[in-house]
């Protein structure tokens, strides 16, 4: 059972002239509030036992998970990260999941793409970017599968809500996470082994009262593998946002969340003052291709007059595995309509799995398994005008085309929560077999930054059709958010408007981080199990 401890987040002051935003439409440019929010993160390792099992985890300011980042839509955010991990080969970076980072692609936090890693034993890096989305997000390490060991935390960007949405209290983030008792490095060793050994999580964690009130919960899936089914006994939920995109509210008993996804819900506390119920999240074990069982993660919710000496005795809502899909596209409609244009380029990519030249199990995107070079970020290469990248960088140069349509086909039997950096994409269609060209809600398809690609079946592959505008010069990873799949090479890099990249100014901290990384370790000594060197090595 996970523990639940929710507290109302401290309210961030607005400007004197009222709300810091003018427009309420997230598809428009964010306001300039003139405010900068400053944070300082010290990253260390320590032993914690969140589920009773003691293991080495990564802490941010001595917290597991890390502290919340809060800002208003349009604020600037400055986070100084000091890597105080006492290990000779464990760098770090932080990715701001869902932030589009317009005009600041250098701060995307992906080693080998936008920056070099922050060196351990005192290396420092300051990220500076605008809160250009509003709603619920999170931050996490993008160094190897490091966030599996705890290097993550929630982000809450306050902004407008749909006119018909109201609630009494914002109860803040609820982070749901599958959890390994082994280190992330050991998990990668097992998944890359000859033959690959199946991975199964060891537990499921949830982070951690008043009748007649309405409460906002910000659900965040911070795990590495599992498809979660979240519900609150005897209560219906009104879904108001997916990722950073407000949607037309609808009611449900069960919310499906893949790795990296967020859903904001309103709970109407319709019970009596003496009621006690369970908040629960189940792992859809079918999606993990295992017959193992993981206990349901439970968190007790007590109404104001309930007897807290006794646990609730309520039962959860029933659900069926639905081939690991998110809620139907026809049901999840953005509140602020945006119609996708006819694409200027269409790209097809097929996902497969197989053995690389050394016999280790890896993922392939159109026959190429991604590998990064932590010493030479691709974005710096593009800035210098060098657009000739090694094949294993999986760079797709979409040039100056105004929009891209990607038809992604999965021939592998697991779900893939697909995440695109720097953008919200439209989800035009999904299914099994071959796409017939029909778009769901063609005038206003679902928009978000992470969406589940269904597993294949024994008789047919699955597909998802995505589209995004090319309005953000940079090199943006598109990858499966299952950490072992990403580490195994299930990544492509979308090169966007290379001519405009050359006009971007490189912050001094980017070049300094690469000089520091080069001085700290030579390429032959840095153990990058999922990058330059895929040879398994002992866990740190």
3-state helix, strand, coil in the chain (%, to 5): 10, 35, 55
Task: Reply yes or no on whether the pLDDT at 211 is more than 60.
Answer: yes
Which of the four pLDDT bands, split at 50, 70 and 90, describes residue 387?
very high
Structure tokens at 334: 């953005």
Task: Reply yes or no on whether the pLDDT at 27 is more than 90.
Answer: no
Give the residue among 283, 500, 288 at the shortest CA–CA distance from 415. Answer: 288
At 437 the pLDDT is 96
Task: Reply yes or no on whether the pLDDT at 524 is more than 60.
Answer: no
CA–CA gap between residue 128 and residue 174 (Å, rounded) = 26
CA–CA gap between residue 302 and residue 308 (Å, rounded) = 7
Percent of the chain with pLDDT over 70: 88
CA–CA gap between residue 224 and residue 485 (Å, rounded) = 9
* Count of Cβ atoms closer than 10 Å to residue 21 Cβ: 21
Task: Reply yes or no on whether the pLDDT at 318 is more than 50.
Answer: yes
At 484 the pLDDT is 86
Which of the four pLDDT bands, split at 50, 70 and 90, describes residue 21?
low
Percent of the chain with pLDDT over 90: 61
User: What is the reported pTM?
Assistant: 0.91
At 98 the pLDDT is 96
Residues in the chain: 540
At 234 the pLDDT is 92
CA–CA gap between residue 300 and residue 408 (Å, rounded) = 40
In the block, which residue shows the tokens 């709603």?
Answer: 135
> Between 177 and 480, whose confidence is greater?
480
CA–CA gap between residue 410 and residue 325 (Å, rounded) = 13
Q: In this predicted model, what pLDDT tens digit does every residue of 283-310 receive, in sequence order?
A: 888 887 766 667 678 888 888 888 988 8
- Residue 59 per-residue DSSP state: E
Cβ pair 435, 427 in contact under 8 A:
no
At 182 the pLDDT is 73
CA–CA gap between residue 322 and residue 428 (Å, rounded) = 19
Q: Is domain 345-504 classified as CATH 2.60.40.420?
A: yes
Q: In this predicted model, what pLDDT tens digit does every residue of 450-467 receive, in sequence order?
A: 999 999 987 899 999 999
Pinpoint the residues of the chain covered by CATH 2.60.40.420: 28-160, 163-322, 345-504
Which of the four pLDDT bands, split at 50, 70 and 90, describes residue 208?
very low
> Between 156 and 519, whose confidence is greater?
156
CA–CA gap between residue 118 and residue 90 (Å, rounded) = 9
**What is the architecture of the domain spanning 28-160?**
Sandwich (2.60)
Mean pLDDT of the chain: 87
> Between 249 and 316, whose confidence is greater?
249
At 6 the pLDDT is 30
Structure tokens at 298: 């439970």
CA–CA gap between residue 486 and residue 343 (Å, rounded) = 27
Q: In this predicted model, what pLDDT tens digit does every residue of 232-279 receive, in sequence order?
A: 999 999 999 999 999 999 999 999 999 999 999 999 888 888 899 988
Task: Reply yes or no on whether the pLDDT at 20 is more than 70.
Answer: no
CA–CA gap between residue 379 and residue 376 (Å, rounded) = 9
DSSP notation for 437-468: S--SSTTS-EEESEEEEPPP-SS--EEEEEEE
CA–CA gap between residue 173 and residue 6 (Å, rounded) = 8
Give the least confident one: 195-209, 263-277, 320-334: 195-209
Cβ pair 185, 251 in contact under 8 A:
no
Strands 76-83 and 36-48: parallel
Give the residue among 137, 97, 138, 87 at the shortest CA–CA distance from 117. Answer: 87
Cβ pair 509, 126 in contact under 8 A:
yes
Element containing residue 210 per DSSP (H, E): none
Mean pLDDT of 154-159: 95
At 480 the pLDDT is 95
Superfamily of domain 163-322: Cupredoxins -  blue copper proteins (2.60.40.420)
E strand spans, 163-226:
169-179, 203-206, 214-221
E strand spans, 356-439:
361-365, 395-397, 403-410, 416-420, 425-432
Mean pLDDT of 13-23: 51
């Amino acid at each position: 059972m996970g523990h639940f401890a929710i507290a109302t987040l401290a309210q961030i002051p607005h400007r004197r002239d009222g709300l810091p935003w003018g427009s309420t439409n997230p598809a428009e440019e964010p306001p300039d509030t003139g405010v900068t929010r400053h944070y300082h993160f010290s990253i260390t390792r320590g032993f914690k036992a969140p589920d009773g099992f003691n293991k080495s985890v990564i802490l941010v300011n001595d917290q597991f998970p890390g502290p919340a980042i809060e800002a208003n839509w349009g604020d600037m955010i400055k986070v100084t990260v000091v890597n105080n991990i006492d290990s000779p080969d464990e760098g770090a970076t932080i990715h701001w999941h869902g932030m589009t980072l317009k005009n600041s692609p250098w701060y995307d936090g992906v080693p080998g793409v936008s920056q070099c890693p922050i060196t351990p034993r005192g290396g420092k890096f300051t990220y500076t970017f605008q809160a250009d989305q509003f709603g619920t997000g999170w931050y996490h390490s993008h160094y190897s599968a490091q966030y599996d060991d705890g290097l993550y935390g929630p982000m809450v960007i306050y902004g407008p809500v749909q006119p018909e949405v109201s609630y009494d209290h914002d109860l803040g983030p609820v982070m749901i996470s599958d959890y390994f008792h082994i280190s992330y490095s050991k998990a990668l060793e097992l998944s890359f082994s000859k033959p690959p050994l199946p991975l199964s999580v060891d537990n499921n964690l949830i982070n951690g009262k008043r009748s007649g009130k309405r409460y906002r919960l910000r659900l965040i899936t911070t795990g590495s593998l599992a498809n979660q089914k979240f519900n609150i006994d005897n209560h219906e939920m009104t879904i108001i946002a997916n990722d950073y995109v407000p949607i037309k509210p609808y009611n449900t008993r069960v919310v499906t969340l893949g790795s990296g996804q967020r859903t904001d819900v309103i709970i109407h506390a319709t019970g009596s003052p003496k009621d006690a119920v369970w908040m629960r999240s189940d792992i859809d074990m079918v999606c993990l291709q295992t017959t193992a069982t993981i206990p349901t993660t439970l968190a007790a919710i007590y109404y104001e007059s309930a007897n807290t000496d006794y646990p609730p005795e309520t039962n959860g809502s029933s659900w069926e595995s639905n081939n690991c899909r998110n809620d139907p596209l026809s049901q999840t409609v953005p509140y602020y309509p945006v119609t996708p244009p006819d694409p200027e380029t269409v790209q097809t990519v097929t996902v497969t799995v197989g053995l690389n030249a050394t016999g280790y199990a890896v993922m392939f995107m159109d026959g190429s398994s991604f590998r990064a070079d932590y010493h030479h970020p691709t974005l710096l290469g593009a800035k210098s005008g060098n657009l000739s990248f090694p094949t294993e960088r999986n760079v797709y140069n979409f040039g100056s085309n105004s929009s891209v349509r990607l038809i992604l086909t999965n021939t592998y039997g697991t779900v893939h929560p697909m995440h695109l950096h720097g953008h919200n994409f439209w989800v035009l269609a999904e299914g099994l077999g071959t796409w017939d060209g029909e778009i769901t809600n063609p005038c206003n398809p679902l928009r978000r930054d992470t969406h589940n690609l269904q597993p294949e079946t024994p008789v047919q592959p699955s597909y998802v059709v995505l589209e995004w505008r090319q309005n953000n010069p940079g090199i943006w990873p598109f990858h499966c958010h299952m950490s072992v799949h990403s580490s195994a090479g299930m990544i492509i890099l979308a090169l966007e408007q290379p001519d405009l990249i050359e006009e971007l100014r490189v912050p001094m901290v980017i070049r300094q981080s690469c000089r520091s990384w080069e001085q700290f370790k030579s390429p032959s000594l840095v153990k990058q199990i999922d990058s330059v060197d895929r040879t398994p090595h002992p866990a740190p």
